[in-house]
Amino acid sequence: MVTLLDVARRARVSSATVSRVLNGAGRISESTRRRVIEVATHLGYQPNQVAKSLRLGRGRSVALLIGDIEQGTYMALTKRVQMALQALDLDLLLFNLDHREDRLFGFLDRAPTMGLLGVVMAVPRRMDGRRLARHAEQLRAQGMLLVAVGQRLNRLGVPSIVHDEVAGAELAIDRLVAGGHWPLAYLGRTLTSATGGARYRGFRAALAARGADAAACELWECTDKYRAEAGYHVVGEALRRGTHVRGVVAMSDEMALGGIAAALDQGLAVPRDIAFVGYGALDWGGYARPALTSVLVNADAVAEAVEELFRAHREAQEPRTLTIVQPALVARASA
């Protein structure tokens, strides 16, 4: 990659002179100006936009931090957020955290030096609230916007976009009970995942709102595995123990898919013997067999909310502190 220093050396001038020529600043002789431009063109020099943003005290890029780049919901979210930011003439920088808190806070430590307009955190993992609040305050002082997707962090001064997890659980439970699938289990990560914990609390609240016997239902905690592998492992173990559960609400489509595979491998019919509802409503769910019933995680609505927050931020308006996205059920054959 050609640098400003490469241009300066080839043109036999200082890097400061090259900078002044390319930015149209200062008094430069016509012959020097022409020589610098010819060299820069010949070498194919492209200005470093991040450095330029730092010099100007503003940026046109937004970083999206995601928990797991291999997970389908994050791929869908990334595409739609990129399109929403493009409508504001902003660029997206994508960073995969691999569910590691040290990577999250390491990035937030560096963010003020990167010339960013803001940071969007789509991070399911539970975080150190006090540490995050300090970072949020530091970024605000730098004129940057920090946004949370999937976690309600507005109490820490972070504008948050979340799904109505109680309403989502109600849709899943109603679908299962209407099909005669009872009692139920919740399949997911509740100990380390803020998203999984919120969905489990929604599950319990939805049961209570319907006067259902929550004691008859089970929590199938995923601890040491992720995505489809976690669903396959935990559901398989539960079935081998002889569970009485006949309906499963999984915290993700991937976990539901793994759970269905475990049930089929043990000779059960889905949904006749045990039914599954996932979260995400990813396109591939319609091509699984049986096709997966799922609560829609509305990436389009989330992206629209992100766009509104950054539009307000650029116009020096106070951002909305909390946006709640309503769910919908994509009904298919698994429940």
CATH of the domain at 24: 1.10.260.40
- Report pTM: 0.80
Q: Does 53 map to a domain?
A: no
* Contact status, residue 88 vs residue 311, Cβ threshold 8 Å: yes
* Contact status, residue 267 vs residue 248, Cβ threshold 8 Å: no
Domains contained in the chain, number: 3
Q: Does 112 map to a domain?
A: yes
User: What distance in Å separates the CA atoms of residue 250 and residue 278, rounded to the nearest whole number?
Assistant: 5
Query: What DSSP element (H or E) covers 10?
Result: helix 4-11
**Domain, as residue range, for 90:** 59-163+299-327
User: What distance in Å separates the CA atoms of residue 263 and residue 265, rounded to the nearest whole number?
Assistant: 5
pLDDT given for residue 55 in this prediction: 45
User: What distance in Å separates the CA atoms of residue 190 and residue 121, rounded to the nearest whole number?
Assistant: 19
Place of tokens 């997206």: 92
My answer on whether 269 and 171 are in the same domain is yes
My answer on whether 196 and 98 are in the same domain is no
pLDDT given for residue 21 in this prediction: 81
My answer on whether 279 and 212 are in the same domain is yes
Q: Does 99 map to a domain?
A: yes
pLDDT given for residue 54 in this prediction: 45
Q: Does 332 map to a domain?
A: no
* Contact status, residue 160 vs residue 146, Cβ threshold 8 Å: no
My answer on whether 218 and 237 are in the same domain is yes
Positions of the chain with pLDDT lower than 70, given as ranges: 23-26, 47-58
How long is the chain?
A: 335
Q: Where are the beta strands (DSSP E) in 89-165?
A: 91-96, 118-122, 145-149, 160-163
My answer on whether 93 and 169 are in the same domain is no
* Contact status, residue 84 vs residue 90, Cβ threshold 8 Å: no
What is the DSSP secondary-structure string of 228-255? HHHHHHHHHHHHHHT----EEEESSHHH
Sign of CA pseudo-dihedral 71, 77, 79, 81: negative
What is the DSSP secondary-structure string of 27-59? ---HHHHHHHHHHHHHHT----HHHHHHHHT--
User: What distance in Å separates the CA atoms of residue 228 and residue 251, rounded to the nearest whole number?
Assistant: 11
Q: Does 54 map to a domain?
A: no
My answer on whether 138 and 214 are in the same domain is no
Sign of CA pseudo-dihedral 107, 110, 114, 115: positive
My answer on whether 194 and 275 are in the same domain is yes
User: What distance in Å separates the CA atoms of residue 106 and residue 100, rounded to the nearest whole number?
Assistant: 10
CATH of the domain at 245: 3.40.50.2300
pLDDT given for residue 258 in this prediction: 98
User: What distance in Å separates the CA atoms of residue 288 and residue 230, rounded to the nearest whole number?
Assistant: 18
Q: Does 102 map to a domain?
A: yes
Cα Rg, the chain, nearest whole Å: 25
My answer on whether 247 and 322 are in the same domain is no
User: What distance in Å separates the CA atoms of residue 282 and residue 302, rounded to the nearest whole number?
Assistant: 15
CA angle in degrees (0–180, nearest 5) for 215-217-222: 125
My answer on whether 157 and 173 are in the same domain is no
My answer on whether 237 and 121 are in the same domain is no
Q: Does 333 map to a domain?
A: no
Q: What is the pLDDT of residues 133-167, one digit of tens each?
A: 999 999 988 889 999 999 999 999 999 999 999 99
Q: Does 335 map to a domain?
A: no
My answer on whether 198 and 279 are in the same domain is yes
Identify residue 40 by its one-letter amino acid code: A
My answer on whether 26 and 129 are in the same domain is no
* Contact status, residue 253 vs residue 292, Cβ threshold 8 Å: yes
* Contact status, residue 208 vs residue 214, Cβ threshold 8 Å: yes
Give the residue among 75, 153, 168, 145 at the shortest CA–CA distance from 307.
145
What contacts 27, CB < 8 A, 6 or more positions away? none
